[in-house]
Amino acid sequence: MDFPMHDAAALAPCTLSTEDVFEGPEKKLEVYFRTSVSQPSGFRQYGAEAWSELLSLAACTILNQRSNDHCDAYLLSESSLFVFADRVILKTCGTTTLLLVLPRLLEMAATAGTALERLQYGHLRYKFPQLQLYPSRSHDEERAYLVAMFGEGVHALTVGPADGCCWHVLAVEGRAAVAAPRPLPAQLNKWQMALPSLAGEDILEVAMEGLSAEVCALFGFERGPDGKDVAGWGPLPDGALARAMTTSCGLADLLPGALIDDWAFEPCGYSMNALAGPYYYTVHVTPEVAFSYASFETNDPRFRAADLVERVVGCFSPSVVTLTLTSRDGTHRLPAYSRRDFERTAASAPTIEHKPLGNGAAVSYATYRAAERRAGLPLVKSFCDGALGLAAVPTPTASPEEA
């Protein structure tokens, strides 16, 4: 079924003060290292104390940890950290200074007897770029920081409209950069389904904006005069509210059997990590109506299927959905999802791009826009065209070189 698109130009502009806003879209650092023969546990030899020291450089802290045979998953004050033996994935929201962890991470790699194979850094365009701190005040500044560390061999890529819901990506390849995927295990369990797309170590990211009013209320924790929170949860013991949010939005049903670690923030907000075999899943929700945002990320290839993407989107009822698939070997791309697959959000036909990223890797990008209000809150024009307007913008923090 087709629906008329929102006329973005007809939507009212949004003006907010710096105290009112939070940057939901996350920065994401994904770093691959060579497997160390002498220290096969690699980065997993480091415990929470070592990671806390590293995370302090990004201005975030550890809230909780879950582990399985493949990965240590840390839930953070601003998003998530996943530690594999030879791979580190760090995702932080707000005005965190994610790139500043790199020197310390490379020191940890040297101690672990390994070296950089490939680094990828990226994020959806910021809603409030004026609030970002060095070295993330612009895509050019982020690239310059990596060039200062690694030289001119930094690959830069932007997919999607530069003045809209675009995705910025940077990549660095070490001397041991390998385009070919790792070999698959001989035995596959239920979380390792024999799909052709499993041949690469690919990461699907779903960024959702303009969540419905009901979804925004679901992830609220603001208490009224009667002692109940605005969402109507009522008094709940520690941890129970997060579990209730996970169940109520549909994520628990989406990840049966997974090891889930969830967290409800005050006065609002939600984060979740989950592990299932070699796969990780992470969700983060910024539910303030004026700049609502939710993200879902996984390396599980099953979630590229149209029905699972639709279920993810259905958990949050957004007005705009941006999908990216980063393929290490460059052979996989996003399917051409039809309108029927996104009927729950009444999405328009997407803009699809597939671009190479350095030696062998590639990024696929697609964006979908809801056609009716019932699919979520309509976005103000600035959501579609770039940053939201701010009534007051602070002077960005000077870089070390500028101080």
Write the DSSP symbol of residue 246.
Answer: H
Determine contact, residues 131/393, Cβ cutoff 8 Å: yes
Residue-averaged pLDDT of the chain:
78
Determine contact, residues 143/403, Cβ cutoff 8 Å: no
Determine contact, residues 209/293, Cβ cutoff 8 Å: yes
Determine contact, residues 325/295, Cβ cutoff 8 Å: no
* Residue 370 burial (10 A CB sphere; 0-12, 13-18, 19+): buried
| pLDDT, tens digit only, all 403 positions of the chain | 222 223 232 223 345 666 677 787 889 999 999 988 889 999 999 999 999 999 999 999 999 999 999 999 999 999 999 999 999 999 999 889 999 999 999 999 999 999 999 999 999 998 888 889 999 999 999 999 999 999 989 999 999 887 778 999 999 997 533 333 333 333 333 333 333 334 338 999 999 999 988 899 899 865 555 555 545 555 565 688 899 999 999 999 999 999 999 999 988 899 999 999 999 999 999 998 888 999 999 999 999 998 899 899 999 999 889 999 999 887 788 887 765 545 433 344 556 789 999 888 999 998 887 765 444 433 333 333 333 333 333 333 444 444 4
Determine contact, residues 213/318, Cβ cutoff 8 Å: no
Catalytic residue set: 23, 26, 79, 93, 271, 284
Q: Return the axis-axis angle of helices 102-111 and 48-56, rounded to nearest 10°.
A: 150
